[in-house]
Amino acid sequence: GQNIDQPTEMTATEGAIVQINCTYQTSGFNGLFWYQQHAGEAPTFLSYNVLDGLEEKGRFSSFLSRSKGYSYLLLKELQMKDSASYLCAGLDSNYQLIWGAGTKLIIKP
Amino acid sequence: DADVTQTPRNRITKTGKRIMLECSQTKGHDRMYWYRQDPGLGLRLIYYSFDVKDINKGEISDGYSVSRQAQAKFSLSLESAIPNQTALYFCATSGGLFYNEQFFGPGTRLTVL
């Protein structure tokens, strides 16, 4: 079956760094997405990895290892506005997104 | 103006009622999707459409139907609503150069009593 696993909740301190992990099992693989979702709002795109390695985009970076079925999202210099859920999603062989349940990130002052 | 809009934003209805949720987009995308989101669960795909004449069932299509009236419009219907269809519903689109990235509407919060 297809499955995306990520931690349910994480807590971090303002100004610090946090890494959110995601493991995936999909039927075929065409890339890994990360989305941010504030409570009650729509998910918004953060990153897309299809090749192994690290993609950096400002304070956010995303890493992919296809051999390990593993990705992480790295958030640096955390701000209070980063408090949100972070959704990991794998794109399967039919180009359908398989979504994880999301990781709720709580930022404390 | 929002690129993907959904109406209504909130709806409370009773068991057995027929409900239609509407989605419109101005992004010019060919692909449109309907998801539902429940607390503690990931987004689950209900139906998707790759163009006006192409409609496909997703993971949880039972109890739902859709209509793609035009490239820009994709409606979701609950023929006879039941309480376990209470959820947050999202419409999404994809297309263009980066066609795998999905853009979401603001969501419709549906409560079935």
Residue A67 CA, chain-centre distance (Å), reads 18
- H helix or E strand, kind and range, residue A55: strand A53-57
In the predicted structure, residue B17 carries a pLDDT above the cut 90: yes
Task: Map tokens 């807590």 to a residue.
Answer: A11
Whether B44 and A87 lie within 8 Å, measured CB to CB? no
Residue B49 CA, chain-centre distance (Å), reads 11
Spell out which residues of chain A touch residue B88, defining contact as CB-CB under 8 Å: 40
The pLDDT value given to residue B2: 67
Whether A91 and B43 lie within 8 Å, measured CB to CB? no
Q: How many residues does chain A have?
A: 109
**Mean predicted confidence (pLDDT) in B59-84:** 96
**In this complex, which of B98, B102, B107 lies closest to A97 when CB atoms are compared?**
B102
The pLDDT value given to residue A96: 84
A90 to chain B, any CB pair closer than 8 A? The answer is no
pLDDT one-digit tens code per residue, A62-105: 999 999 999 999 999 999 999 999 999 999 888 888 999 999 99
Lowest mean pLDDT: which of B40-44, B45-49, B76-80? B40-44
pLDDT one-digit tens code per residue, B82-98: 999 999 999 999 987 66
Q: In what order do the strands lie in the sheet with A70-75?
A: A3-5, A18-25, A70-75, A60-65, A53-57
A1 to chain B, any CB pair closer than 8 A? The answer is no
How far CA A3 is from CA of A69, A98, A101, in Å, comes to 11, 7, 10
Spell out which residues of chain A touch residue B6, defining contact as CB-CB under 8 Å: none
The pLDDT value given to residue B42: 83
Whether A30 and B100 lie within 8 Å, measured CB to CB? yes
Rounded Cα distance, A84 and A46, in Å = 13
Cis omega (within 30 of 0) for bond into B8:
yes
Please name the residues in contact with A106: beta carbons below 8 A apart, sequence gap of 6 or more: A9, A10, A11, A12, A83
pLDDT higher for A9 or B39?
A9
In the predicted structure, residue A37 carries a pLDDT above the cut 80: yes
Closest by CA to A17, choosing from A75, A62, A83, A63, is A75
Best residue of A30, A93, A99 to probe chain B, by most B CBs closer than 10 Å:
A99
The pLDDT value given to residue B1: 59
Rounded Cα distance, A103 and B45, in Å = 19
Alpha-carbon gap: A45 to the closest alpha carbon of chain B (Å)? 7
